[in-house]
Amino acid sequence: MKEKEVGEPHATELQTLNFKVPEAFKRSYKVYAAQRGMTMLDLLKEGFELSRKADRK
């Protein structure tokens, strides 16, 4: 197993993912997540995993 280098982030540390979307998209995304009892982050992660799985087919 490799040793951690100085300044290397821990696997559990959160990093900012910063991008802009239209206001209507954000509102729709937030409502969609809330209606399903999910956070916006959980919805993003789920969508990313689904997209990755679709690419493997």
Contacts of 33 (CB under 8 A, 6+ apart): 39, 40, 42, 43
Quick one: average pLDDT of 11-21?
Answer: 88
Q: Is 19 helix (H, G, I), strand (E, B) or coil?
A: coil
Q: What does the pLDDT read at residue 5?
A: 59
Q: What does the pLDDT read at residue 27?
A: 98
pLDDT above 80 (res 28): yes
Span between the terminal Cα atoms of the chain, in Å? 32
Rounded Cα distance between 45 and 53, Å, is 12
pTM here? 0.71
